[in-house]
Structure 1
């Protein structure tokens, strides 16, 4: 007998909750079940690697957000779109920056983007399906354009403040541009195209594995809970939101996410996850806890943690049921901050979920800026041998401001996908620390900002998961630096820089790197970046215990350009040292900076490069 159709939101939530606690647990199709037996939450922990390492086929992962194709239609559908600075149709005033005009947006743009990934070695495309609402035309939960009619600018008005836009003229320009942007989704809806389904079609055509990513608490609309079209109806109910996830003054409005202690929240999110797993042609699931790291109220009790573990196991059972249906594995994992204990404090017990086999993979990452000192070695010790641990290469280098030579282009952050040397260094470091593959996050953002001379280099993705391929190639390492936008506490790893060094004192810094061959005419450069005006008498630097090197060259140039960004700003000055490349070891490397002078100095950044020797 067919179940009765769910007619109301309350019925929907109740049905979702009941089904979320009734999914049977199935054998783990990632493993040889004849050896390991069926998975059960009560089974003893198993620490031996799986007999069939299916995730070996997934080593070069690309994470694309819900807008990845739609940001730059002039790149993926150039015959129909072009960049133009256009006049406001209401006021006649010219806009402040070029925008993509043309259309309609078509499915061929999706296929072209996937072609680009396939041509450059990506084996797994992890496409994000949601923010707070679903961004695809969901049949189960509220979607981003529910109730929108083409040209209705006011539908988006309440979101302007969430973008930091409040001046009347700026709001009107935002509405013009955002309406143009969202109409690309409407173009596909009008043509009967579901872009999420089309993504998996494009992946299948190019033999890329399609995985789907669910953002677990996206806060893009949190600065206007009632007014932003981003927000779910459930999110607008105060009793469904977290009350104690914020402290201090840092982005308090971004920490009011949905409270997973509420059964309605778990039911709603499970229904979305069920839809993308059962109704779409995907074969892997990532839960993204960096958008945002908000789950239960901090200080979660053992009972709350056990409840969440059981909920995650129901999702695991859902993916296993889909694997049994298709006859193919369906890996299940999480993208997470590197702060395992803080995650457990909000109800996400990654250690237990990895050790008991609930999770097949984890991807420890930074929020926006990439991490340079993620302790993958410690993760392996804590999480066990059966889980795959990926390294995440995120698009921000750090918060060191840079500029082009003339100073006409200045940026608070380098977009590293414009620099193959920085890309190679970040990936090589994570692989040398034991990461079993790489996931790219926000790589495409470099295509968006319209900064002169800045563009993502997709060719840098090729073979990036192979450490032996990376050895001997030029690289540019950075250190993570603290900054309010880049380092949301307490989940971001504490940054080592900037750092003060007192008179006649020294500081030690730790960086993950990969060893290099000694026979390829390479040298190691270290650049110490200080505040302008600080001129220490002596500034010795040593690496991995070598005798301190005092010989340096003062410069305003970066070790390597990142697109058009080639120089430090006037706020800083660099001192560059040369060392033999043989000093580098696989894994952790120690750099010591001394201040042999009578005045304190502030170390703003440390930059390290492996380059061809110059005469």
Structure 2
């Protein structure tokens, strides 16, 4: 380890606060609202609060980058060219809020100061290639002047990348210097201890192919960031957020093995783009970056998007939060990074996220003894970054399929149940399960599952009328880390929509 660098970060719980929510509220935002924003996270028990400072423009009064409200004049609707009319009213409110707060305080400075006062580690997260404003034209105010003035710096259009398909191309030195300008401002002017470079917002920094060249470019960029931090007078842990698989990360230009070998980073957050990934290979990342780099499993507010079924919200389920963290501790993670945790507040009607459960995620032993629920990943949102969804999967008559789940072994006396959500005519004697070396046998019973025809499914999904095969598990079947599930459909074929494992507390029934 270089003498100037920090030891391995000790944090367990990192809370990632989005750039917008504080400005979405109806009442005028004030410095006291910033304080309360920090207080909510500190009271919940997180170790680090990462405050997002930017999209393509900044939400704080930056000295170097275009600010979100720059160029806006009351009544001038030309500011909203290329913005759908249905979005303009909310955009005006958002801009007024950021501008109003900037007249009273520096949002980022206020948040960092409040973190110090409340004893939570202050951090900044920077979106490295933001492309919010999907469906809007190239002259939308969500696109910075730098972006609009330099179409030659855009990646070529690759349709599967969605509305991030024409992001800024980091092959251009000018693009990298543009990003470095804001990073320098953070390092030189703001009192923080953690800097997250969010390479998943958004995920595309180059055209496809030429992977070795792209990795070389980004390695040079990361060396520059590392040198900047090491030369400063603040001790800042550099913890980027990258795609959910080290191979996928490398294809996108991020050679995490080199970052670990050169100790360019102090930690990594591994994350999907929009939905939580339940089998991210933390152990593979560990083998590449070594033991001195902290690894965090990044969750999203959504627990899963199983095809044709209503989505599960991780932020609204203590059982899912515990299962997510516990499984990754069993796989060797150092902690969790909670992203977009606030989103239930945007539901109609709004719902309060489970802040009270956050502190529980610090203690792996407590989580092992807790009531928890583990899921299988389904419905990849962005094919170049996310885990391939294991479900839905069709199993023919008298055929079998293998699935993988990341779990933590249960304590003595806890009830454990595996549940298979399926769309088919199977009866208990038609579905048979093996987990690792253990033959579980046929399903104990079939229950009615959730229906997906209530308008909550994703538009591209076919609504399902699911059923649930229930498999009580003997003690000692599941193990810490990866677990193989082999499911056989006898007599009739079926479609597997999802699998979960429910672990009860001591002498308690699984949910």
**Could you tell me how far 1:440 is from its partner in structure 2?**
0.5
1:395 aligns with 2:301: yes
Given that 1:359 and 1:387 are in contact with CA atoms closer than 8 Å, whether structure 2 keeps it comes out as yes
Given that 1:64 and 1:441 are in contact with CA atoms closer than 8 Å, whether structure 2 keeps it comes out as yes
Summarize the alignment of residues 9-158 of structure 1 with structure 2, pairs less than 5 Å apart: 28-31=3-6, 52-53=7-8, 55-56=9-10, 58-71=11-24, 73=25, 100=26, 103-150=27-74, 152=76, 154-156=78-80, 158=82
CA distance in 2, matches of 1:268, 1:455: 38
- How many residues were matched structurally? 497
1:316-350: CA deviations, max 9, x gaps? 1111122xx14xx2111210012323333343222
Given that 2:245 and 2:280 are in contact with CA atoms closer than 8 Å, whether structure 1 keeps it comes out as no
1:228 aligns with 2:140: yes
**Could you tell me how far 1:572 is from its partner in structure 2?**
1.5
Given that 2:375 and 2:501 are in contact with CA atoms closer than 8 Å, whether structure 1 keeps it comes out as yes
**Could you tell me how far 1:152 is from its partner in structure 2?**
4.7
CA distance in 1, matches of 2:223, 2:337: 24
Aligned counterpart in structure 1 of residue 502 of structure 2, from 602, 606, 609: 609
**Could you tell me how far 1:541 is from its partner in structure 2?**
1.9
**Could you tell me how far 1:105 is from its partner in structure 2?**
1.4
Summarize the alignment of residues 136-215 of structure 1 with structure 2, pairs less than 5 Å apart: 136-150=60-74, 152=76, 154-156=78-80, 158-160=82-84, 171-172=85-86, 174-190=87-103, 192-215=104-127
**Could you tell me how far 1:535 is from its partner in structure 2?**
5.5
1:472 aligns with 2:382: no
CA distance in 1, matches of 2:487, 2:416: 16
Given that 2:267 and 2:293 are in contact with CA atoms closer than 8 Å, whether structure 1 keeps it comes out as yes
Name the residue aligned to 1:314.
224
Aligned counterpart in structure 2 of residue 434 of structure 1, from 332, 338, 346: 332
Name the residue aligned to 2:453.
none
1:224-251: CA deviations, max 9, x gaps? 353211112222222110116x2xx534
Aligned counterpart in structure 2 of residue 266 of structure 1, from 176, 188, 199: 176
TM-score (norm 1): 0.76
Name the residue aligned to 1:408.
none
1:81-122: CA deviations, max 9, x gaps? xxxxxxxxxxxxxxxxxxx3xx32111112112111111211
Summarize the alignment of residues 383-422 of structure 1 with structure 2, pairs less than 5 Å apart: 383-400=289-306, 412-422=310-320
1:600 aligns with 2:493: yes
1:442-477: CA deviations, max 9, x gaps? 11112112246x431100101302201111111111
**Could you tell me how far 1:304 is from its partner in structure 2?**
4.6
Check 1:593–1:68 CA distance in 2 against 1; reply closer, same or farther (3 A cut). Answer: same
Counterpart of 1:235 in 2: which secondary structure?
Answer: helix
**Could you tell me how far 1:27 is from its partner in structure 2?**
5.2
Counterpart of 2:406 in 1: which secondary structure?
Answer: strand
Q: Which shifted more, 144-153 or 367-376?
A: 144-153
**Could you tell me how far 1:195 is from its partner in structure 2?**
1.2
Name the residue aligned to 1:506.
400
1:527 aligns with 2:419: yes
1:378-425: CA deviations, max 9, x gaps? 1111222221111112211111378xxxxxxxx842221100000000
Aligned counterpart in structure 2 of residue 444 of structure 1, from 338, 342, 352: 342
Q: Which shifted more, 388-397 or 340-349?
A: 340-349
Counterpart of 2:486 in 1: which secondary structure?
Answer: strand
Name the residue aligned to 1:348.
254
Given that 2:421 and 2:449 are in contact with CA atoms closer than 8 Å, whether structure 1 keeps it comes out as no
| Deviant stretches of 4+, over 3 Å | 150-154, 221-225, 301-305, 532-537
CA distance in 2, matches of 1:412, 1:154: 40
Aligned counterpart in structure 2 of residue 380 of structure 1, from 286, 309, 321: 286
1:357 aligns with 2:357: no
Check 1:430–1:419 CA distance in 2 against 1; reply closer, same or farther (3 A cut). Answer: same
CA distance in 2, matches of 1:552, 1:455: 36
**Could you tell me how far 1:214 is from its partner in structure 2?**
1.0
CA RMSD in angstroms, aligned pairs only: 2.5
Q: Which shifted more, 136-145 or 525-534?
A: 525-534
Counterpart of 1:593 in 2: which secondary structure?
Answer: strand
CA distance in 2, matches of 1:575, 1:364: 32
CA distance in 1, matches of 2:433, 2:368: 24
Structure 2, unpaired ranges of 5+: 451-455, 458-462
CA distance in 2, matches of 1:570, 1:547: 29
CA distance in 1, matches of 2:412, 2:427: 34
TM-score (norm 2): 0.91
1:555 aligns with 2:447: yes
Flag the structure with larger Rg: 1
Given that 2:52 and 2:127 are in contact with CA atoms closer than 8 Å, whether structure 1 keeps it comes out as yes
Aligned counterpart in structure 2 of residue 544 of structure 1, from 406, 426, 436: 436
Check 1:131–1:523 CA distance in 2 against 1; reply closer, same or farther (3 A cut). Answer: same
